[in-house]
Chain A
Amino acid sequence: GAGVSQTPSNKVTEKGKYVELRCDPISGHTALYWYRQSLGQGPEFLIYFQGTGAADDSGLPNDRFFAVRPEGSVSTLKIQRTERGDSAVYLCASSSDRGTYGYTFGSGTRLTVV
């Protein structure tokens, strides 16, 4: 596609529920990133995919968070047993290289856990 697409744009869920956030990167971009942005803060790295594999998942806060990219394009960020502290904007970005030229970001998914 022309840009990075993230769905849904907004998601409200109840505490304890499971959610999936989707990212559709720019066609041909092998690198895909997930970041989390809390209100009034800068984005924080969660996970990096190169192709289908998670090359760096050091930013995932705990084992309730998991992400996949089975065919090397679309990625899904999965959060189990959501907590109110998970409320944030989840940003996805893609790049054709290691990101030294900057990424293209999507518009994010605003997750609200009530």
Chain B
Amino acid sequence: AQTVTQSQPEMSVQEAETVTLSCTYDTSESDYYLFWYKQPPSRQMILVIRQEAYKQQNATENRFSVNFQKAAKSFSLKISDSQLGDAAMYFCAFTHGSSNTGKLIFGQGTTLQVKP
């Protein structure tokens, strides 16, 4: 089965601190792409970071970085120097590289609260 599990329904972090959101996934394929999306109250899903499964190097985008452990099928998101604007729901997702459709499989999300 192709699934994504986010085991933390809610997380909280102090402004300027660092927080890590967990994600595990299950797929039998070796070619896939992993994503973290942010969904603020405006509902629009915003792409935060992307990782190609065949690349060992962890992706980084400014204050956002991932810890990709392919053997463990783990893909956690680290947010450094947290800002009030980071408060949102965060979704982990993947798509198969061999897919003809690019269909995304999403986790259930983690709500991140940032305290001033």
Contact = CB atoms under 8 A, between A and B. Distances in A.
A14 B42 CA distance: 25
Interface stretch (B13-21, B79-87, B94-102): B94-102
B100 A55 contact: yes
B77 to A, nearest CB: 14
Contact of A107 (B4, B42, B102): B42
B43 A108 contact: yes
Nearest to B9: A40
A102 B35 contact: yes
Interface string B88-116: 00010101010111111111110000000
A31 B102 contact: yes
A102 B101 contact: no
Contacts of B11: none
A107 to B, nearest CB: 4
Contacts of B106: 42-44
Nearest to B45: A105
A87 interface: no
Contact of B102 (A35, A59, A99, A110): A99
Nearest to B96: A100
Given A102-B50, A107-B42, A45 B103 contact: yes
Contact of A89 (B43, B46, B99): B43
B28 interface: no
B33 A100 contact: yes
Contacts of A31: 102
B44 interface: yes
Nearest to A106: B44
A104 B35 CA distance: 13
A75 to B, nearest CB: 15
Interface string B25-63: 000000001010100001111110010000000000000
Contacts of B43: 89, 91, 107-108, 110
